[in-house]
């Protein structure tokens, strides 16, 4: 009984601290995406090259992010590290952006807005939009992540058409029968982007802030894990009220667009690149220009 009272007092003290004006926390997240298996043929692509490409893609989809947050806002950024061979230059940055990375992802849960800066084909974009509100269903399951007691929540989320982590291989029954023609290396014909996906999240009321990684928010506690069936984001470290404070502010650089505008630009440019190469995807040394 005495232990229960002490635990309650400790939690109450943390809750009061969380509501303090200068409250701030930091969470480290490990993100891992299961890449679909690409099978490319032609143009001298050997099984060894295919394996190397698959391994490089796997490595590119393993990332570490740091989120700094207070009671109303957060910034979520990929941890800076030396570029791996083959990931340097505009091409590597473009692929990284399409696979979920960006500059700074800022969320303001008080104003219900977000801003994220992205680089695509050498042009800087600043996406400013309203925070997507998910209809979370609070489940009864519980588990521990590190030292924190967590509760399960699920939701159905519309898919961003510019986030290529969501590509799924088509089922055989979904593939359209087409007249026989000369075979190309356009492996993307075997893939599709779903319209919506089911999200499973684990949050902890022990940290009573409605924050989480990427665009996730809206639960009665910090989200420590998110799983959308292909990408898993897990919190590996939490630091509360560190001595050194981080300025939590929205990014400012880039052409301002809404999320749908940015999605449309990405889809359009990818289609243009595909057509310019006879259905084979981007070629080397090609430059794309954007309208104003």
Quick check: is 179 in a domain? yes
- The closest alpha carbon to 128, from 245, 258, 254, belongs to 258
Quick check: is 66 in a domain? yes
Per-residue model confidence as pLDDT tens digits over 65-107: 999 999 999 999 998 765 544 444 444 555 555 554 568 999 9
- The closest alpha carbon to 105, from 113, 163, 63, belongs to 113
Domain that holds residue 105: 23-132+163-193+233-276
Quick check: is 225 in a domain? no
Per-residue model confidence as pLDDT tens digits over 31-53: 998 866 655 555 667 777 767 76
Gap between the terminal Cα atoms of the chain: 67
Q: What is the pLDDT of residue 275?
A: 75
Quick check: is 154 in a domain? no
Per-residue model confidence as pLDDT tens digits over 242-252: 888 899 999 99
Quick check: is 213 in a domain? no
* CA dihedral sign, ordered 229, 138, 109, 238: negative
Give the integer Cα–Cα distance in Å for 211 and 89: 33
How many domains does the chain contain in total?
Answer: 1
Residue at token pair 């359009």: 268
Asked if pLDDT for residue 140 goes beyond 80, the answer is: yes
Quick check: is 177 in a domain? yes
Quick check: is 71 in a domain? yes
- The closest alpha carbon to 75, from 111, 27, 110, belongs to 27
Quick check: is 4 in a domain? no
- In this structure, are residues 285 and 156 in contact, taking their beta carbons and an 8 Å threshold? no
Task: Enter the pTM of the model.
Answer: 0.75
Three-state secondary structure call for residue 172? helix
């Amino acid at each position: 009984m005495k232990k229960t009272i002490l635990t309650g007092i400790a939690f109450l003290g943390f809750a009061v601290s969380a509501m303090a004006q200068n409250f701030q926390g930091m969470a480290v997240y490990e993100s891992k995406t299961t890449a679909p298996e690409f099978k490319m043929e032609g143009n001298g692509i050997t099984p060894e090259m295919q394996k190397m490409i698959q391994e490089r893609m796997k490595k590119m989809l393993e990332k570490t992010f740091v989120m700094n947050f207070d009671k109303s806002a957060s910034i979520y950024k990929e941890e800076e590290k030396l570029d791996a061979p083959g990931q340097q230059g505009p091409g590597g940055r473009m692929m990284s952006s399409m696979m979920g990375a960006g500059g700074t992802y800022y969320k303001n849960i008080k104003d219900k807005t977000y801003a994220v800066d992205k680089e695509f084909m050498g042009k800087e974009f600043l996406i400013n939009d309203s925070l997507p509100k998910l209809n979370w269903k609070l489940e009864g399951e519980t588990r521990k992540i590190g030292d924190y007691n967590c509760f399960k929540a699920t939701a159905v989320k519309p898919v961003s058409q510019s986030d290529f982590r969501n590509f799924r291989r088509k089922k055989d029954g979904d593939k359209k029968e087409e007249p026989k023609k000369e075979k190309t290396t356009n492996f993307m014909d075997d893939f599709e982007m779903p319209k919506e996906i089911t999200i499973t999240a684990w949050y902890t009321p022990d940290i009573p802030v409605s924050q989480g990684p990427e665009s996730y928010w809206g639960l009665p506690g910090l989200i420590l894990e998110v799983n959308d069936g292909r990408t898993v984001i897990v919190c590996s470290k939490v630091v509360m009220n560190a001595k050194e404070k981080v300025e939590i502010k929205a990014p400012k650089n880039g052409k301002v667009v809404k999320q749908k505008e940015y999605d449309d630009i990405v889809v359009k440019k990818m289609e243009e690149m595909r057509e310019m190469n006879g259905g084979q995807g981007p070629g080397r040394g090609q430059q794309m220009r954007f309208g104003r």
